[in-house]
Amino acid sequence: MANDIKVLVVDDSAVVRKVFKDQLNRQKGITVIDTAPDPYVARDKIVKLNPDVLTLDIEMPRMDGITFLKKLMKYYPLPVIIVSSLTKKGSKLAMEALSIGALEVISKPNWAYSVGDMSVQLAEKIRAVHGAELKKRGGDNQSRASMGKTPLALAETTNKIIAIGASTGGTEAIKKVLTSMPQNSPGMVVVQHMPAQFTTSFAERLNELCQVNVKEARNGDTVTNGEVLIAPGNYHMLLKRSGARYYVEVKTGPLVHYQRPAVDILFRSVARYAGANALGILLTGMGKDGAEGLLEMKKAGAVTIAQDEASSVVYGMPKEAKQIGAVDYVEDILKIADRTCSVLQKLFA
């Protein structure tokens, strides 16, 4: 137990705190060292117990989770997993939490007594974020208006496709890439491992920050220049082609690498229908989802990019892709957009 990941559970529900503690303590390598009913109690226990990972509810008495997270990331940053209810309001708050510095979001069941059902998933998230190096930070004040125009420019018309996949830490990584892409970028399709309903708010937030238009994908949506389609939570997204028109198919199906949507599903469809007219980007994430799909894209003639270890929250998916020879370029997250535009400019020359 000395080497176990130390977890502090912060939630205003006594039932949830007890179930989380009981269930997580059954997971190998994880120990819940204590719980807290609100941020004020949590603050004192963080200083006293020095937990490795914090699970945090959003709506709590005395201080909400968002306000507490801002203070935490400013003065005492540590890996935080947001546990939020499935409401439209809650999902938007969860997106804000991710932009502030939370590393993962997990959906809280509607009934507290069913929280135990999610213990395995939560344990996986805890293992994924454990050890992530976080810097002190303030709030995210970026906006579409304040960003200005990037000097990089692409051709006005193209049939190129950019496919992006990410998991743990991916919401911020995707934001860093997309906010640096020019308005006339080729159409982009994105899979981020995220629960249902949260992807809507994720897309809406990105749309406010980016020069490209961002939306949650719907079945049959056309992939067009200057637009990004985010796979909806709990649905796979595939690229298809009809003549010169690219479009997406959004559908249910078996979990792939325990995920739906799965990056491999998207990447394999891009390899099939776009081939050498595509560029694949695999970002931070736990596991190996996307590695085989990225290799298929490369074999089909696509250019492939993976995030480097130093800038990844979890160097799992990019590492797997690199090890099997699926990656053309390995880049820091802040340089991926530049590399993407550079590659595309050469293709258009």
Kindly list the catalytic residues. 167, 193, 289
In order of 70, 201, 348, the CA distances from 179 in angstroms are 22, 16, 22
Residue that is written with structure tokens 């082609």 in the block: 241
Q: What angle do CA 210, 309, 318 make, to 5 degrees?
A: 75
DSSP label at residue 69: H
C-beta separation of 22 from 99 below 8 A: no
Question: What's the token pair of residue 24?
Answer: 């997580």
Strand runs labelled E in the chain: 5-10, 30-36, 53-56, 80-85, 104-108, 161-166, 187-192, 213-216, 227-230, 236-242, 245-251, 278-282, 303-307, 329-331
C-beta separation of 124 from 286 below 8 A: yes
Cα 330 from Cα 288, distance rounded (Å):
16
